[in-house]
Amino acid sequence: MEDDPTFRNLVSDIMKYSMDFKLDLANDGEEGVKKAIENDYDIIVMDIMMPDIDGWEAARRIKLVKPDALIVALSAIERKIGGQDLFVRYLRKPIKSLEFKRILRSLVEGTN
């Protein structure tokens, strides 16, 4: 879930072409929550600042239905106190491609 198309394309390119991940993109938090609840994903990567609902609220809604969902937050803002349990990782933008790939790979392989 990422509302900025440029950053969304960058993240999806990293995941699709250099990691062989299958992707399903959402344009905003509402769409992302719907997709996350209706599908089974290995990892959910989301932005925190989205135009309709923020990443914390989106993660809360997903966790109500799927408490074991692996959600990775990407944001340019500091981590919010009290939201630590919503995300397996909270990554600050800009993130380096190699670090991002390493983190996602470790989550998929269960070596986080």
Q: Where are the domains of the chain?
A: 5-107
* Average pLDDT for the chain: 81
pLDDT at 51 over 60: yes
pLDDT at 17 over 60: no
Q: Which is more confident, 30 or 104?
A: 30
pLDDT score for 67: 95
- The class that CATH gives domain 5-107 is alpha beta
8-22: average pLDDT? 63
Terminal Cα distance for the chain, rounded: 21
